[in-house]
Amino acid sequence: MSEDGLRIRLLGDLQLQLHSRPLQLPPSKKTRALLAYLVTTGRPQLRERLCDLLWEGPDDPRGALRWSLAKLRPLLDVGARCLLVADRERVAFVQDGADVDVSRLAKLGAGGVGTAAIDDLRDAAALFGGEFAEGLDLPACSRFHEWCVAEREKWAELRLSVLARLVDLLADSPEEALIHARSRVSIDPLNESSHLAVIRLLATLGRHREALRQYDFCRQLLEAELGARPGAALERARATLKASSAARAADEETRTTKPTAAVRISDPVIVGRSEERAILDAVVAAASAAGASAKFLLLVGDPGIGKTCLLRYLGDAVVRAGGEVLAGRAFEAEMIRPYGIWADILARFSRQALPDATRAGLRPLLADGIEAAPNEGDRTRLFTAMVSLIAELSDRSPVGILIDDLQWVDDASVSLLHYVTRAFEGTCRVVVAATARPGELADNGIAQRLVQGLARETRLIELPLRPLDEKTTAALARTVAPDLNVASVVATSEGNPLFTLELARSLARGSATLPGSIGSALAEHLARPEGPARAILPWAAALGRVFDVGVLARCVKLTPSAWLEALEELERRGIIRGVGEERYDFAHDLIRSAAYGQISQPRRRLIHGQIAQALADALDANAGAGVLGGELARHAVLGGNDTLAARGFALAGEHSLCVFAHNDAIDFAERGMRHLARVATGAQRTRLQIALLRIQIIASGGNRQPHRGDLLDNLAAVVNVAETSGLASDATTGYYLLSELHYEDGDAAAAASNSLRAAEIGRGADPATAAVQLANTACCLLMLEQDVSRSRALIAEAGAMSDRSDRKSLWLLHGQALLRRWDGELDAAVPLLEQARTLAHRLEDRWEECRCLVWLTMIHLERSDSRASLACVDELLPLASKMGEGGELPFGRVLQALVQARLGQAGAQGRLESALDELRSFDSKARLAYALNAVGELTLADGRFDRVREVAQEALAAARATRRVCEAVRAQALLSCVLAAQGEHSAARACLEPVLEHLGNRDALSEGARQVALRAAAELGLCVQTLVQTPRPQDHT
Amino acid sequence: MTRIIVERNFDPPISQDDLNACFQRIGGCLDLYGVRYIRSRISTDRRRSFCEFEAADAQSVRDVQSAARAPYERVWPAEVIGES
């Protein structure tokens, strides 16, 4: 290996060295990821493929690729040639003598680890500086992510093989073997043999107490993560250790060990930065006086440089000036949560604190669970409402809008931030400030454009934070311990505040040697927790943001006391801090990254998979309020669960629709579809397909032309599958969507057809529900006097289903009663209706109770049982008066007056006329027809033919308008009787004859109407063949 | 056929999901009762709505609401003014 020339290290943090000097890498993650990809694949790649890999989305991917290549070219320019070769079509990395770690290891792997020489294995172990492409996690770039995960697994497997072989070969050198054995445990902690090797080596070295601690750690880990107990080999090793008299010597060993000083970590304080603080104070003063136009403050700097501390200082300054702070923090893991930071900002406001108009506009972002419709124009309402809120807050005192980690803010949030910044361009009391990591901001195109636009308009104040000078660094270190000898801290930390504090704490704990990098300092810090604290650390890191103890508890099984102990220890060590009730965050994102970096790739997959399953289980148990689809999708993607990933993307897409982030919704739907392509066919896949297509269709709105054919075809195919699979609810959704698409195409017939089909199958749910629906439809048909033969069949079918489920339904009783009435079996209808009414009362279904009472009143009237009729209507009226229009109060009053008139009660006629007028105003023509026919039949007996003719004609018109055949026949029969009574026999016959042809079909006319027609025909002396009564078979169920 | 208006009030304001479910149920009953749906208007605070149908009479529309378990305040026949 040459010390000159280019060296590239991909295992661990990406590093480039030229002539043994490290090269400054581009800060952009995607640029570094591109380099890793080109170097590892080692062959020409199409530009289009590289764009798909790293730059999905509507921005200019080719332009972004060109920009990244321009950043990489100077690094790969070695002497006479450049190792980056590119033309219009392809880009390639040409190794040409460069020393690449993965290339060397690939040769070892090809030759076989089992036959490699021990020195080669030692060199190989040394090459593994960490996992492949450490820190280059880009979960939003799914194709790169999948490739990176596969590479990590491959190199981790090789590393494990190398370490295992070294442990075997170094049996005679247990100290050296132990180093490799511990490395093996750190990579694959769930492998018992890794722990066993460590325990045996420690026992060999006489370190029995440590060996027993190693056993305890393994046992707790297996129990917490796999719910498993240690195997026989581990138990034997433990038993041997326990029995050994050397354990007593090990006790002596630990008693003489120098105790480490306990260092309580407190919140960081600002030391120095006087120039920056002066600028922030001036900005707040100007805002308080509303004497200057709003500027956008951007604090930029490397991780750990103190950006968040200064942002907090700015917030405190706003509060001291009597103002309000709206603060939000973005997380890398949450970039797929539209308007995430704004929702977090609004979470601090109670609903009551917001004015009504503002609350209505902001509803999509409020945590009250009421979502707005995703209509065009509502996005503007949301934006306007936010500006109104800020304007109101800043009316008399300054408002600080503080955004931490702008490079991770989602597109929708940046758009709203842009809108707010524009809205307060003039003199106002609004201060907008954000922090950002400079290189990573370039990976967020929309945030980058916001900043560039503000710079062009001279509205940007950029505050780059430089490393602290030596004096300030020393002062910061002494905040940990005043009498600390800080010289080595100052020398090593190079002015990075976070690194300074970590080093100072390490020194205060009594460490003999200081870590050489911030990474090693954090690794040392994270190695200190033990027991339950150590067990939950990887899970907390994997959650990737402010984490809820409740979510953690679903994944890690600990006793309540163990939880308290773990959280207290992590807080005490300054690894996490509380941010609310049962919510914690890592003290710094670098700490979280370091903790996550310590998790091996296979273990990460396991952890993310379990978190995803826990989130999905919470959703299924209706305990998942607040579970975000994006969160579920992220963990499922990283955990390799395509079904849950598709489900998460569907949820995220639905949420995006509700907050009008339509581009995000389409993106989520497409990503969900890609995962769904790998899910086996079945009900779950069909459901998710329809859900994702629905999101695509709604989010696309009117912009569907290029993909319309595909969408229609895909949707039609999957809806067909849903219907044949019995997924009624999903098929219903699909048909309604098809209906909408056809409607937009102007195909009304297809639209209506699909809509009806949706309604039809929408009723086909479980058997009990289906029975109710069938009986319901039968009742409707009988009430409408239509398709009675079908209603018979429906009642028979519903009756059979109800018997199977051993449950009589309200609608079934109702339907059976109406069928009896239709067939003239009035006495049999009454008890059925009374049962139905009792059931309706018990079910507190007042509408249905009113209907039953109406029918009972009518049937008793038809039975000529006036007293029973009156009793029913006396119950009906008070109930109907509470029901509003649905209670049929006007018809009830008519029935009451009718019965009273029949009984010859004084004043009944007048009340009847008033009630009829009311019924006319109520526009209930079918009821009016019935009532007028009843009045006509009553009046006919009195011989008031003009009155009868008048009401019968009105009844006929009303019956025909509402297609009530029976009432029309009754009216015609009445008219015929009047005409006959007045000597107009021809006219009477002409009036009745059209009716007579239906008399033979028992399903065409009710028995009541039939009898009225027969009596009228008999009066006229008409001979009707079909008038011979035939016995009706008993087919009621 | 007559234009019929259905007035509804919602307290608390109705969510889009509940509104969709209500309309789905109503849609399933229209053909049966000879009622044609025309359009709906909902207030921006989502507390009031007007639905317009075409039917033989107001009672047909009331029957549809009842069958669909769609609550309402009033149903009344209307004359259309100003529609092109």
Q: What is the ipTM of this complex?
A: 0.78
Mutate to test the interface with B, among A381, A885, A964 (most CBs of B within 10 A): A885
Tell me whether residues B12 and A961 touch, CB distance under 8 A.
no
Pairing of strands A430-436, A576-580: unpaired
Tell me, yes or no, if B18 comes closer than 8 A to chain A by beta carbon.
no
pLDDT at position A753 is 62
Closest C-alpha to A333, from A10, A694, A648, A691: A648
A window 932-971, beta carbon within 8 A of B = 958, 961-963
Tell me, yes or no, if A755 comes closer than 8 A to chain B by beta carbon.
yes
Tell me whether residues A926 and B57 touch, CB distance under 8 A.
yes
Average pLDDT per 10 consecutive residues for chain A, totaling 1037 residues: 73 86 87 94 92 79 90 84 88 90 88 87 87 84 87 89 91 87 83 89 85 83 73 84 59 42 53 90 84 80 90 91 89 75 80 69 66 52 87 86 91 88 80 88 84 87 91 88 82 87 81 69 77 86 81 80 85 82 80 84 86 84 62 89 92 83 86 88 84 84 58 80 71 74 59 59 59 77 84 82 54 91 95 91 81 94 93 91 76 94 91 94 91 93 89 94 92 92 87 82 90 87 53 40
Tell me whether residues B62 and A962 touch, CB distance under 8 A.
no
Closest C-alpha to A952, from A944, A746, B36: A944
pLDDT at position A465 is 93
> How far apart are the CA of A535 and the nearest CA of chain B, in angstroms?
42
> How far apart are the CA of B82 and the nearest CA of chain A, in angstroms?
23
Tell me, yes or no, if A886 comes closer than 8 A to chain B by beta carbon.
yes
Tell me whether residues A886 and B31 touch, CB distance under 8 A.
no
From B34, B59, B69, residue closest to A924, measured CB to CB: B59
Residues of A in contact with B26 (CB under 8 A): none
Would you state the structure tokens that stand for residue A979, as one six-digit string?
């005409």
From B45, B57, B66, residue closest to A962, measured CB to CB: B57
Chain B residue at shortest CA distance from A786: B32
What is the Cα A341 distance to its own chain's centre?
Answer: 16
Tell me, yes or no, if B63 comes closer than 8 A to chain A by beta carbon.
yes
Tell me, yes or no, if A373 comes closer than 8 A to chain B by beta carbon.
yes
pLDDT at position A1029 is 44
Tell me, yes or no, if B52 comes closer than 8 A to chain A by beta carbon.
no
Three-point CA angle B74, B80, B84, nearest 5°? 140
pLDDT at position A335 is 67
Number of A to B CB contacts under 8 A, please give it: 84
Tell me whether residues A923 and B63 touch, CB distance under 8 A.
no
Tell me whether residues B74 and A884 touch, CB distance under 8 A.
yes
The Cα–Cα gap between A107 and A117 comes to 13
- Ramachandran angles phi, psi of B41, nearest 5°: -130, 135
> How far apart are the CA of B80 and the nearest CA of chain A, in angstroms?
17
Residues of B in contact with A958 (CB under 8 A): 57
From B12, B31, B34, residue closest to A756, measured CB to CB: B31
Q: Answer yes or no: are the C-beta atoms of A525 and A502 closer than 8 Å.
A: yes
pLDDT at position A858 is 96
Tell me, yes or no, if B82 comes closer than 8 A to chain A by beta carbon.
no
Pairing of strands A296-300, A430-436: parallel
The Cα–Cα gap between A576 and A582 comes to 12
> How far apart are the CA of A840 and the nearest CA of chain B, in angstroms?
14
Tell me whether residues B28 and A763 touch, CB distance under 8 A.
yes
Residues of A in contact with B57 (CB under 8 A): 923-926, 958, 961-962
Mutate to test the interface with A, among B4, B57, B74 (most CBs of A within 10 A): B57
- Ramachandran angles phi, psi of A10, nearest 5°: -110, -10
Tell me whether residues A963 and B56 touch, CB distance under 8 A.
yes
> How far apart are the CA of A855 and the nearest CA of chain B, in angstroms?
14
Tell me whether residues B32 and A780 touch, CB distance under 8 A.
yes
Residues of A in contact with B16 (CB under 8 A): 371-373
Chain A residue at shortest CA distance from B23: A759
Tell me whether residues A371 and B2 touch, CB distance under 8 A.
no
Residues of B in contact with A885 (CB under 8 A): 62, 72-75
Phi-psi group of B71: left, alpha or beta (phi > 0 → left; psi -120 to 50 → alpha; rest → beta): beta
pLDDT at position A107 is 86
pLDDT at position A900 is 93
Tell me, yes or no, if B9 comes closer than 8 A to chain A by beta carbon.
no
Which residue in this structure is represented by tokens 């195409």? A745
Helix (H) or strand (E) segment spanning residue A616: helix A601-620
Tell me whether residues A784 and B32 touch, CB distance under 8 A.
yes
Residues 6+ apart with CB under 8 A from A439: A26, A27, A28, A29
Q: Answer yes or no: are the C-beta atoms of A406 and A436 closer than 8 Å.
A: yes
The Cα–Cα gap between A975 and A948 comes to 8
pLDDT at position A2 is 46
pLDDT at position A254 is 46
From B33, B45, B77, residue closest to A360, measured CB to CB: B45
The Cα–Cα gap between A891 and A773 comes to 26
Q: Answer yes or no: are the C-beta atoms of A634 and A544 closer than 8 Å.
A: yes
The Cα–Cα gap between A711 and A689 comes to 11
Long-range residue pairs from A675-684, CB within 8 A, at least 24 positions apart, any chain: A675/A636, A675/A637, A675/A642, A675/A643, A675/A645, A675/A646, A675/A649, A676/A642, A676/A643, A676/A646, A678/A642, A679/A642, A679/A643, A679/A646, A683/A725, A683/A727, A684/A643
Chain A residue at shortest CA distance from B13: A370
pLDDT at position A698 is 76
Q: Does the global pTM surpass 0.80?
A: no
> How far apart are the CA of B48 and the nearest CA of chain A, in angstroms?
14
Residues of B in contact with A756 (CB under 8 A): 31
From A360, A780, A961, residue closest to B56, measured CB to CB: A961
From B15, B34, B69, residue closest to A963, measured CB to CB: B34
Sequence letter at residue A825: E
pLDDT at position A627 is 57
Residues of B in contact with A371 (CB under 8 A): 15-17
Closest C-alpha to A757, from A777, A776, A738: A738
Residues of B in contact with A763 (CB under 8 A): 28
What single-letter DSSP state applies at residue A11? B
Tell me whether residues A780 and B29 touch, CB distance under 8 A.
yes
Tell me, yes or no, if A749 comes closer than 8 A to chain B by beta carbon.
no
Tell me, yes or no, if A716 comes closer than 8 A to chain B by beta carbon.
no
> How far apart are the CA of B83 and the nearest CA of chain A, in angstroms?
21
Number of H helices, E strands in chain A: 48, 17
Residues of B in contact with A927 (CB under 8 A): 59
Question: How many residues in total does chain A contain?
Answer: 1037
Chain A residue at shortest CA distance from B77: A923
Tell me, yes or no, if B75 comes closer than 8 A to chain A by beta carbon.
yes
pLDDT at position A875 is 92
Tell me, yes or no, if B7 comes closer than 8 A to chain A by beta carbon.
no
Residues of A in contact with B69 (CB under 8 A): 847
Closest C-alpha to A430, from A464, A396, A463: A396
